Amino acid sequence: MKFCMQCGHELGASRTCAGCGTTAPVEPLPAPQLPPAGARYPLFVDEVDSVSVSTSGRVLASPVTEPLLPPPPPPPAPRAEAEPSMLWDDPDATQVRLPAVPVLPPRRGGLATVWLTLGALVLGLLVLGGWLLTHGSHSKPEAGHGRSTAGAGSATPSASGDDVASTATAKAPVTRAPGVDTQGRPTTYDASNMLDGKPSTAWEMPGDGTGKALTFTLAAPTHLTSVGLVNGYAKTAREGAATVDWYAGNRRVLKVEWVFDDGSSISQDLHQTKELQTTKVDVTTKTVTLRLLDVSEAGKGPARRDMTPISEVSLTGQAS
């Protein structure tokens, strides 16, 4: 409650006393109670001298308060030890050693690996093919009495030894009469033509020679390791603008039998080729008999001749 300071009359909501009419003075309000200021971080305004401007326009300096110091910086991190660099010209200069980078081995490309693999496969096939060509199986007849049979002969002699056919003599039951070739030159068809080493010469007889026997006599008993023959007339000639193939035009011997002094024998099937076809034997003999077991028909065309020819006979071995 409030009372008049003059008469002690109780004051109401008005500031004028109803008793004496005195106006009561206004009591100032109590100053607000602020909480104590706590710690704070320094502000930018703390670092600058604050100033104020008076109503007259003059700048008045306000008291300068000392700003709070910032917290000390953290200690510096340890630096890597440097060592002198041998690449720099300045001997006092240093260079920080970096950790070594691992070097990975080079990777081979997939395409190169594929080509290497294919090359190895091709090389292996070539080696295998060469081995099969040079180590093919051949039947080896055994010498003895009676008749033995062998397959078709190989194209080239495969047994070791010397060619003793050139020292032998040949005898045929029938021989074609001499004539002239397509160039008009004289030509003979004697049995000795089978032993001269020239496939372009031949022994010939008219017609089919199946069942006929040719005899070859060596200079001395000889250990034979292979025998063979060229089973037709392996000659090609020119007649005008045409080429004449006497091998295709004449008959070809398809099967023979070789007979030796001890009575042993071996049969040989022959292919239709101009190459020398041989078969292995293992026998010692001085005389070799060649029996014609099968002969083809004559060929066709301009070169057709009804003749049975043999161009060459091969006898390989060592004289005893």
What totals of helices (H) and strands (E) does the chain contain, helices first? 2, 18
Mean pLDDT of 224-248: 91
296 lies in a domain?
yes
pTM, two decimal places: 0.52
173 lies in a domain?
yes
Mean pLDDT of 108-118: 72
| Phi, psi angle pair for 55, to nearest 5° | -70, -20
Averaging pLDDT over each range in 138-152, 173-187, 262-276, which range is the top one? 262-276
200 lies in a domain?
yes
5 lies in a domain?
no
The rounded Cα 274 to chain-centroid distance in angstroms is: 39
Overall size of the chain counted in residues: 320
Question: pLDDT, tens digit, for every residue of 7-30?
Answer: 776 766 666 777 777 776 666 666
CA distances in angstroms from 182 to 99, 174, 206, 236, 257, listed in the order given: 94, 24, 19, 10, 34
What sign has the CA pseudo-torsion 240, 242, 248, 249? Answer: negative
**Counting Cβ atoms within 10 Å, is residue 276 exposed (0-12), middle (13-18) or buried (19+)?**
buried
| Token couple for 256 | 């023979």
24 lies in a domain?
no
189: containing domain: 146-319
210 lies in a domain?
yes
Pairing of strands 203-206, 264-269: unpaired
| Greatest Cα pair distance in the chain | 192
The count of domains in the chain is 1
Question: pLDDT, tens digit, for every residue of 57-66?
Answer: 454 445 445 5
pLDDT in the model for residue 85: 44
Mean pLDDT of 256-268: 98
47 lies in a domain?
no
CATH of residue 163's domain is: 2.60.120.260
pLDDT in the model for residue 253: 98
Q: Which of 154, 137, 310, 293 is nearest to 227 (CA)?
A: 154
88 lies in a domain?
no
Neighbours of 159 (CB within 10 A): 19
What whole-number distance in Å separates Cα of residue 53 and Cα of residue 62? 10
Question: pLDDT, tens digit, for every residue of 167-225?
Answer: 999 999 999 999 988 888 999 999 999 999 999 999 999 999 999 999 999 999 999 99
Question: pLDDT, tens digit, for every residue of 306-317?
Answer: 999 999 999 999
